[in-house]
Amino acid sequence: MSDISSSAPPFRHLLGIEGLSPSDISEILDLSDEYVAQNRQVDKKRSILGGRAQINLFFETSTRTQTSFELAGKRLGADVINMTATASAIKKGETLIDTAATLNAMHPDALVVRHPHSGAVALLSQKMDCSVINAGDGSHEHPTQALLDALTIRRRLGQLHGLTVAICGDILHSRVARSNIMLLNIMGAHVRAIAPPTLLPVAMERMGVEVFHDMTQGLEDVDIVMMLRLQNERMRGAFVPSTREYYHFFGLDREKLAKAKPEALIMHPGPMNRGVEIDSELADDINRSVIREQVEMGVAVRMAVLDLLSRRPGNQPPVGPDTGPETGPEGAQP
């Protein structure tokens, strides 16, 4: 590893992209590049997190994010424990704060959390002595997704600055869109949001994006086309007349893609709904689609984040009152 590996980040938790500086982001991406190289070797394992415990606490289902956080921790030598809401005391009525206090008492060194409510991960982080990483909270933020997207783009196109990125589809319910919009703005890219009015947050322009309701206009000359899933699980009521009509107007097909730059890349955070937001053949187009590459970058980015956060001196488990026998007879407990 190069000497960039020696610095600790100025933040203790990774709760969102909001608040990160261009150099924070570049540092994570630079270290991620090193982990991409490591992950392509036969020997992928390091022991820099040896002896540390990482808990993945998921209150929502996940395939890519949970697996890649688990793999990332294990490749760095940590002991990784996966907890899902269905298997935990939450189902028995325990509050989020009590769950946090319980886990904190076990002195984990990193807690990775996914939760259906925006802000829940930040709340939980206030009760933990270790680093907390947001693996997606409601429709708020999904910082490691935006970082892995940025890594994918940077490795393909050299830099983020000056690129035009179109984020298309269900932006209203998407934490991926919010984190990406923030990151791309911080790094000097131009962001376009393309969606029907029902799937856009109010005052979207205030987030520093150009808004379009028509794919053919919005995709004109873009470098990156980032498609989003219709997040039915977060919808209360009908936001589109039918998936068929949605595909007709907002699904990515060859005709609409022809408006973008000839070498424009197609991205999708997954899971994909083929034939709803993206044409199946385009999703698999090896010249244009970088969807599988995004998954590969996810492991490297999560390794970089776990590595960097572990270097924060404040993230070491606190030394509590020692009640063990070695403190003397008064400290001895039955």
Residues forming the site for ligand ASP (CB under 6 A): 136, 142, 175-176, 229, 231, 269-270
Establish how many alpha carbons lie within 13 A of residue 28's alpha carbon, considering only the half-sphere containing its beta carbon.
30
Compare residues 221 and 233 and give the one whose CB is closer to ligand ASP.
Answer: 233
Compare residues 115 and 154 and give the one whose CB is closer to ligand ASP.
Answer: 115
Q: What are phi and psi for residue 249, nearest 5 degrees?
A: -90, -35
Compare residues 222 and 226 and give the one whose CB is closer to ligand ASP.
Answer: 226
For 224, the token pair is 């990156």
Q: Which residues face 80 on adjacent strands?
A: 54
CA gap 74, 291 in Å, rounded: 24
Question: Taking CB positions, which residue lies at the least distance from ligand ASP?
Answer: 229
Instruction: Name the minimum Å distance from CB 256 to ligand ASP.
Output: 20
Instruction: Name the minimum Å distance from CB 150 to ligand ASP.
Output: 15
In 3D space, the residue among 307, 312, 319, 314 whose CA is nearest the CA of residue 78 turns out to be: 307
Instruction: Name the DSSP letter for residue 54.
Output: E
Compare residues 49 and 266 and give the one whose CB is closer to ligand ASP.
Answer: 266
Contact 8, 313 (CB under 8 A): yes
Compare residues 142 and 256 and give the one whose CB is closer to ligand ASP.
Answer: 142
Instruction: Name the minimum Å distance from CB 79 to ligand ASP.
Output: 25
Compare residues 63 and 327 and give the one whose CB is closer to ligand ASP.
Answer: 63
Instruction: Name the minimum Å distance from CB 39 to ligand ASP.
Output: 20
CA gap 264, 123 in Å, rounded: 39
Compare residues 270 and 317 and give the one whose CB is closer to ligand ASP.
Answer: 270
Compare residues 38 and 231 and give the one whose CB is closer to ligand ASP.
Answer: 231
Which class for 180: exposed (0-12), middle (13-18), buried (19 or more C-beta within 10 A)? Answer: buried
Task: For residue 195, count other CB atoms closer than 10 A to its CB.
Answer: 25
Instruction: Name the minimum Å distance from CB 13 to ligand ASP.
Output: 19
Instruction: Name the minimum Å distance from CB 120 to ligand ASP.
Output: 14
CA gap 181, 207 in Å, rounded: 7
Instruction: Name the minimum Å distance from CB 271 to ligand ASP.
Output: 6
Q: What are phi and psi for residue 62, nearest 5 degrees?
A: -160, 140
CA gap 138, 120 in Å, rounded: 8
Residue 48's contacts (CB-CB under 8 Å, 6 or more residues apart) are 76, 77, 307, 310
Instruction: Name the minimum Å distance from CB 64 to ligand ASP.
Output: 6
Inter-axis angle of helices 22-39 and 143-157, nearest 10: 70
CA gap 201, 240 in Å, rounded: 15
